[in-house]
Structure 1
Amino acid sequence: MRLFLCLALFALPSAATAQCLLCAPDATKGTASTRQAETPLRIDVETQLDMGRVAVGAMGGTIEVDPVSGARRLGGDVVDLGGFSLTGTVTVRGAPGAEVRVILPATIELEGGNGRRARVTGLATDLAAAPRLGPDGRLQFRFGGRLQIAALDDGDYRGRIPVTVEYQ
């Protein structure tokens, strides 16, 4: 017997922060911090992470959405029910050329009907090691993750992913 599972994860921008002006060790960094403080970061969620529709059998399984390729991989006793999955897409705006740090949580709890819960782990982005805002003050990135599904656990699961972006 297979049960239907539908998942949607909503990225939720959290407060973007800038460096403390009083914490700058030298005047050069203080100038950069001042420029960045004058241009606050803005985070816009363009696309929500959606792992799609699947059926889960008695052995349970996993769904993984790759942030680079956008491909969805199913593992274990999970069957694709059609439709498509989406990587999450976030746009950050701020000081042109500024280096930023993007922070995603290690784990997200999803809630379904009848008090059921599921967990997404392994949230990852397609960002380079030291991301910077472009000359236009804009940076767009995609993110994905991995969902472990318990045996015969059906429902429509939803959750929020806090996305934090800080000037470096």
Structure 2
Amino acid sequence: GGLGERIVRTRIDMEAALFLLSLFVMVGAVGRSGLFADAAGWLQALPISPLAQLCVFFVAAGLLTGVFSAGPSMAALLEVAERLAQQHSPETVYIGLALSVCAGSSLFLTAATSGPLAQALTERAALRDPEGNLIRFGFAEFLPAGLLSFAVIQTVAIAWGLLSA
């Protein structure tokens, strides 16, 4: 009992664990509200071609993932993808969704499970550069690489959707 308690207190990053748990709870609550089912209806009602709807879905999935993180976003967006898979090849929809979620999880430091953990571990380790300055690994430091990564992966998702549809 004492060893288990000590491991939980000293080896588990409770801040990161609570952050990730809160994301799943938040997306679960939004999902129960029917918002994602409504979003699928709005998407299908857009006065654009079905192929353009698919591209809008991919971009929206990437951006939502950037905000809510990969796991919760994928779980929530499966409901929308299911509706789109009735109009398009399921392979096109689900591969494009997976790529878009990958794009979104690269957008912000908090969008991937490893981001908050890497940030916390870097700060806790008090790492220093060759000049002795404390290394900072936060939102601003990650954003340029995140934007580039998002753009590249999201472009591949859209290209996949356009070429395979």
What is the TM-score when the length of structure 2 is the normalising length? 0.29
Task: Give the structure with the larger strand fraction.
Answer: 1
From the two aligned structures, give the one with the greater helix fraction: 2
Higher relative contact order (CA 8 A, sep 6+): 1
